[in-house]
Amino acid sequence: MTQSAQTLTLVKDPERLETRLAEIPPEPGVYFMRDQSDRIIYIGKSRKLRSRVRSYFRDGYNKTERIATMVKQVAEIEFIVTDTEAEALALEANLIKQHQPYFNVLLKDDKKYPYVCITWSEDYPRIFITRKRQLGQEKDKFYGPYTDSGLLREILRICKRIFTLRQRPQPLFKDRPCLNYDMGRCPGVCQQLISSEEYRKTVQKVAMVFQGRTQELIDILTQQMQQAAQALNFESAARIRDQISGLKSLTADQKVSLPDDTVSRDAIALASDEKLAHIQLFQIRAGQLVGRLAFVADAHAEPGAILQRVLEEHYQTADSVEIPTEILVQHELPDGEILADVLTGRKGRKVTILAPQRQTKAELIEMVERNAQYELQRMQKLGDRNHQAMQDLAAILDLPDLPHRIEGYDISHIQGANAVASQVVFVDGLPAKQHYRHYKIKNPTVTAGHSDDFASLAEVIQRRFRKYLEDPQLTRVGNSDWPDLVMIDGGKGQLSSVVAILQEINLLEDLRVVSLAKRREEIFLPGESQSLETNAEQPGIQLLRRLRDEAHRFAVSFHRQQRSEKMRRSRLDEIPGLGHYRQKQLLGHFRSVDYIRQATPAQISEVPGIGPRLAQEIYDYFHPS
C-alpha cells in the first residue's frame, strides 16, 4: 500500500477513488473495504460489482449512518470475481465468518435477548446463558437470540436435571467433588472422574435441544432404552426413561397446527417503523414450536432484503442439521433462489424458500408478524420513554441538543481502603455496558484510614480525558467517545473538584458536567451555590437517578472484588520471599488460603515458581513449631 493510501481515505482522494472504481468489473463477486490500517472493515457481494461499489460513493445514495461512517474510513477496495451469484453468496459468508468485519453487523447488539453458548473449544464444554455473542474461540457455538429469557433459563435448568452435567462454573473443592456428584447430578468434571470424550457425548445431546432436534433426540434415547432393557440393564433403562419424560415436558404445550408435521420449518416475519425493524423467527420441528428467535435491524432497506440478510447471518454459523427443509418468509427475497441453492448444498437435501399467500402457512406467517409487531410496540414505548427523559433533561440543564451519551462517575471505599471508581455510560437512555470502565485510585494520599473523594474524582476525570489533553486536535464533535453530559455522584464539593481539574486541562468549556446529590436528588451546576429547582419524579431526574444508581452499583461491586482479593492475599503477604506473582500462582492452584494451609511441602512445591525451599517456608509459616 502506498504512503498516500495510508494517509488519505478514498473520499478525500477523488482521483484515486475514480481509478479504483474503474478497475472493478461488472461481474458477480465479493468486494472488500479496507481502512487506513489495512484492516478489512466491510465485506459485501453483488451480481454487478462495479455498480454496487460505486453506489457507496454516490452523493444521492441513501446511506444509513452506519454505512456513511464506514465509507469515510475506506482507504482501499479489493474484489474477488466469481462465476455465479451463488458462489459469491457462499464466499461472502465464509469471508465474513473468517474476518468478522466491524461494519458487517446488520443486526443491532440488543442486550435484552440472550444466547446459549456451548464452549466446544474446551475439553469439558460449559453451557451458559449470555447476552454477548462474541466468538472467543472459533469452535464455541451460540444458539439464539431467544425472546423469552425466563423460558430459556427454565429449559437449561431442566436439561441440567435430565442430563448429568457440571453444575458449577468453578470447583468447590480442590481434591474432591462436591455434593452434586454424590447426588448423581454431576459426573465429577472437576476431578476428571469422567473422560472428556464421554462428557462431550452428553453435551451433544443437550445441544440437540437447542438445535430444535428434541424429537430426534427422543427417538435416539428410546432406542437406547429398549436396548438397555433387552440387555437386562434396567437401571440404565429407567434413567433413559426419565430423560425421555423430561424432554417431552419441554414441548408438551408447544404444538403448532400445520399439515405435514414431519417437515422441519422456519417461519420469519418483521414489523418496522421508520428507524427499526423487529424480526421474529419461529423454529418449528415435527409440528412443534421449539424456538422463537428475535433480531433487531436498521429499517433502511426493503423488507425482503432485510429478511434475506437476517437469514444469511442466522444460517451462517448454523450446523447443517439445524437448517430446515422449508423456510416460510413474509416477503419475497431478492435473492431467494440463490440462498436456497446455498442452503441446499450445505444441508445435502432440498431446501425450499417460499412466501405463502393463503391457507395455514400464510396464517403461520401472520402469527409471526403479530408477535413481531407486539415486540416493536414495546420497544417503541421504551424508546419514547427514554426520548422523553432526554428531552426533559436537556430542558432542565438548558442543553443545546439531546444528551445521547451520558457518563456517570462514583467512588467506593471503606475509610479509604481499596478505593476504586466507576465510569458507566448510558446511550440514548439505555446502559451501554461495553463502554463501562473501573479505576483503581492511585493517589498516594488515599490510604486506609484517610479517604479523599474529591481527589479521587479529580484523578479519575483526568485519566478519562487525558487523551484529549495530549492530542488537542482529537475530534470531539461527532466523536462517539465524547460525552454530551458528565454526571458526578455527590454534591457541590465533588463537583468543584471535577471542575477544577477540567479547568486545569482546558476542557471545562467543551464538557458539560453536573452533580446529583443523594439526599434530596438535587442537581448542582458549576459555579452555582444553589441547586436547580426540580421535581424528583421528572423523567429527566429519573434518568439521572438510574445512571447514578448504576454507577454506584458498578463501583461497589468492583470495590468488593478488590477487597476480597486483598483479604485472600493478606496472610500470604506476611511470608518473606513470596511476591505478588507467586501468590497468584498459589491461589490459582489451591483456590484458597485454607487449602494452602492444609497442603504438604511436596504439594506446595508442585506449583510453578515455588521451589522446595520456599515451599518449606510457606509450610512452616502456617505450622509454627
Tell which residue, 417, 414, 456, has the closest CA to residue 439. Answer: 456
Q: Where are the domains of the chain?
A: 3-104, 118-250, 265-378, 398-566, 571-622
Tell which residue, 97, 105, 10, 86, has the closest CA to residue 45. Answer: 86
To which H or E segment does residue 23 belong? Answer: helix 14-23
Asked if residue 110 lies in contact with residue 73, where contact means CB atoms within 8 angstroms, the answer is no
Q: Tell me, yes or no, if the two domains 265-378 and 398-566 fold the same way.
A: yes
Q: Which CATH number fits domain 265-378: 1.10.3470, 2.40.10, 1.10.4040, 3.30.420?
A: 3.30.420
Cell digits of residue 394: 436537556
Asked if residue 279 lies in contact with residue 295, where contact means CB atoms within 8 angstroms, the answer is yes
What pLDDT sits at residue 426? 92
pTM over 0.85: no
Residue type present at position 78: E
Separation CA 32–CA 24 (nearest Å): 12
Chain center to CA of 517: 33
* Strands (DSSP E) found in 140-204: 141-143
What pLDDT sits at residue 81? 92
What pLDDT sits at residue 251? 58
What pLDDT sits at residue 256? 56
Separation CA 42–CA 59 (nearest Å): 20
Q: Which CATH number fits domain 3-104: 3.80.10.10, 3.40.50.720, 3.40.1440.10, 3.10.20.30?
A: 3.40.1440.10
Distances from the Cα of 233 to the Cαs of 199, 236, 322, 379, in angstroms? Answer: 21, 6, 33, 54
To which H or E segment does residue 560 belong? Answer: helix 539-570
What pLDDT sits at residue 60? 62
Separation CA 385–CA 392 (nearest Å): 11
Reduce the secondary structure of 187-248 to three states and give it as a string.
Answer: CCHHHCCCCHHHHHHHHHHHHHHHCCCHHHHHHHHHHHHHHHHHCCCHHHHHHHHHHHHHHH
Asked if residue 209 lies in contact with residue 155, where contact means CB atoms within 8 angstroms, the answer is yes
Residues of the chain whose pLDDT is less than 70? 1-7, 60-64, 105-112, 133-137, 249-261, 475, 477-478, 565-571, 625
**CATH 3.40.50.2300 assigned to 571-622:** no
Tell which residue, 66, 65, 79, 63, has the closest CA to residue 105. Answer: 66
Separation CA 295–CA 506 (nearest Å): 43
Separation CA 389–CA 586 (nearest Å): 50
Question: Per-residue b/e over 179-212, b at no fewer than 16 CB within 10 Å?
Answer: ebbeeebbbbbbeeebeeeebbebbebbbbbbbb
Tell which residue, 139, 148, 117, 112, has the closest CA to residue 130. Answer: 117
What pLDDT sits at residue 2? 40
In which residue are the cell numbers 406467517 written? 365
Asked if residue 267 lies in contact with residue 256, where contact means CB atoms within 8 angstroms, the answer is no
Q: Which CATH class is domain 398-566?
A: alpha beta
What pLDDT sits at residue 452? 85
What pLDDT sits at residue 369? 93
Separation CA 119–CA 128 (nearest Å): 9
